[in-house]
Amino acid sequence: MNENLFASFITPMILGLPLVTLIVLFPSLLFPTSSRLVSNRLISLQRWMLQLVSKQMMGIHNTKGQTWTLMLMSLILFIGTTNLLGLLPHSFTPTTQLSMNLGMAIPLWAGAVITGFRNKTKASLAHFLPQGTPTPLIPMLVIIETISLFIQPVALAVRLTANITAGHLLIHLIGGATLALMSISTTTALITFMILILLTILEFAVAMIQAYVFTLLVSLYLHDNT
């Protein structure tokens, strides 16, 4: 109970060296590959899920946008597995770090915006000034639209960080309360434990949903610029 509430968000170190690189690379080892002609059930399920998500997410894109399919599918797999592994006891979740989420959001957003300015320069510039804007409001609207454009990657990163961090904090607090109540009231402790189980199930869903939302928003930014 004396443990720091935010101790689980501190980057783990061994001999003064951060382990973030190893933790980030670890999820890629969890996806099986097969060189056989007939795949097993796990690989077949993995391929079916990827095809389902890719059809839903990339169906709205043209040919240029669909070239991002591999990158976006890799992104959703990476974020989803990282979020799920962070729910294991005594584990570290890299997606609770705003710096890492910004490191994913800014290059993808910048790539989508640069693609838009290269392929649809007039349409991209037209977003800064809606049609029919009164002349006195033009400078203000241009400033507002510019700010809204540059805040998109920040919103992506903050949304993911806040949702994952909030869930971990709730699990930590309710788990600590359950341990404290065991010596006071067994009935109340059981009720709290049931709440903890339900919250953990909810966090599994949130981990997958946030991966999907992050990738979907990147896909929508790409769709607006291709």
Global pTM reads 0.78
Residue 127, token pair as written in the block: 């977003």
Over the stretch 22-80, which tens digit does the pLDDT of each residue have? 676 776 676 666 666 666 777 777 778 888 888 888 878 888 888 888 888 888 888 88
Q: Which of 107, 72, 71, 115 is nearest to 226 (CA)?
A: 115
Check whether 14 has a pLDDT greater than 70: no
Over the stretch 158-183, which tens digit does the pLDDT of each residue have? 999 999 888 888 888 888 888 888 88
Neighbouring CB atoms inside 10 A of 49's CB total: 11
Of the listed ranges 90-99, 126-135, 168-177, the least confidently predicted one is 126-135
CB 210 within 8 A of CB 82: no
Cα dist from 84 to 4, 39, 81, 200, 201, whole Å: 22, 25, 5, 11, 11
Higher pLDDT, 29 or 200: 200
